[in-house]
Every structure is written in structure tokens, then in C-alpha cells.
Chains A and B, each alone.
Chain A
Amino acid sequence: GAVVSQHPSWVICKSGTSVKIECRSLDFQATTMFWYRQFPKQSLMLMATSNEGSKATYEQGVEKDKFLINHASLTLSTLTVTSAHPEDSSFYICSAKTSGNQETQYFGPGTRLLVL
């Protein structure tokens, strides 16, 4: 089956630093990847849709200058949390969509970010 990896799986950083999270589709090409944020005991909230070779589409209320997304290849999308603050602490999950009519989103294992 389709496998999506994320790196790192967890990160602790100081307030004000930037953190980069990588999302890779390991055995398929993904023209579209998605970034979600999940708060404890809550559902997934879509942050942005990442399109290979073009700008990401951000959901309402998500600061694009705060959460930089780069989708440089068909197998890699990165999310950079710039100048992280404690309120950015969360579980970040990416997904990659297979192409065609039988499309399915496959999710990465998530990255837990703790900003001190």
C-alpha cells in the first residue's frame, strides 16, 4: 500500500525558532499533499493544500507567512513553522493523495511539535 513518511516524528524547540517538517510519499507520486493540525482529543483541521510546482492554498485563518509550505517535487512537501511560539505546539499530520478517480489520501505518522 501507499506509504507516507514524516520527519521528524517529534521536535522540541525554543520560542522564536523555526521548525521544518518533511512529508514524503515513499512509493507513489503525489501532485497534491495536505497539511493538517490536530489538537488533543480533537479532529483534524486542514491548514493548507500543497501543490507540486505551485503555491499552496491556505485555509481561512491560517497565516501563510507563519506556515510556509514548499512542494518542490512529486514526493516531498515541507512545512516550516516560522518564529514558533508555544501556541503553535500541536500534532501536525500530512497526507498525500493518489491520482485518478480512485483517489485516496494516505497519511503520515504525524509530527508532534512542542514549543517552549
Chain B
Amino acid sequence: AQSVAQPEDQVNVAEGNPLTVKCTYSVSGNPYLFWYVQYPNRGLQFLLKYITGDNLVKGSYGFEAEFNKSQTSFHLKKPSALVSDSALYFCAVRDMGTGRRALTFGSGTRLQVQP
């Protein structure tokens, strides 16, 4: 069965510093990997995805993520954090080795960027 782990409930970073939000996954086939961001009382906004190709994926708002097959990781990164980046971040995977079309989400990581 597919699964996603986000080991950190919360990440704190100072504005202007680089940030990393961790994600590891487990699938039986090839993974489709996604990052979404959620602001309070709102739905999820798509940030970026990895389907195939370059391991480094660039997405919205200056975020990027690196697909690492050997470590089964897809960590989200940004070179310089903004206070407005403070939100809840979800990593998700779709296991292409199964017929399942739905995404499986991690537990979420709350990012707090201090001014």
C-alpha cells in the first residue's frame, strides 16, 4: 500500500533563511509526487509535482522539490523564506503500480516563518 510520511509536525525558520519540509514515501510502482499548501479554512493549493524527468522540480512561489529515488524522498525547499509562506504543507503520492487514482496524503507540516 502507498504511504507518505512527513516526519515534522512543525518547522520554524527565520525570514530570509532557506527552508526545507521533509517528505518520504512508499509505493509499489513508480510514484507521482505532489506538494500542496493549505491556508487556514481554505482548500489545498497545488505547488508542484514530479511525474518523470528532471529530479529537481520547480513550482509556484519560488518553491522547488527534489525527487530522490534511492532515499524515497521528495523534500520541499525554498532558498529564502517569507512570512507569507507560513501555512500547512502536505506531501502526496499516487502509486502508479496500482490502479488507485486517488492521492495519499502525508500528515502535514506546519511551516512558521518568523519575521
Contact = CB atoms under 8 A, between A and B. Distances in A.
B90 A32 contact: no
Contacts of A27: none
Interface in A1-55: 1, 4, 6, 32, 34, 42-44, 46, 49
B101 A107 contact: no
B102 A46 contact: yes
Nearest to A91: B41
Contacts of B51: 101-102
Nearest to B39: A109
Interface residues of A, number: 25
A43 B105 contact: yes
A105 B105 contact: no
Given A42-B107, A43-B108, A106 B90 contact: no
B43 A109 contact: yes
A37 to B, nearest CB: 12
B58 to A, nearest CB: 15
A3 B49 CA distance: 17
Most buried by A among B36, B43, B102, B108: B43
A49 B103 CA distance: 11
25 contacts: A4-B43, A34-B102, A34-B103, A42-B107, A43-B106, A43-B107, A43-B108, A44-B44, A46-B102, A49-B101, A49-B102, A91-B41, A95-B44, A97-B101, A101-B51, A103-B32, A104-B34, A104-B46, A107-B36, A107-B43, A107-B44, A107-B45, A109-B42, A110-B41, A110-B43
Given A6-B43, A34-B102, 7 more contacts: A4-B43, A32-B101, A42-B108, A43-B107, A107-B44, A107-B45, A110-B43
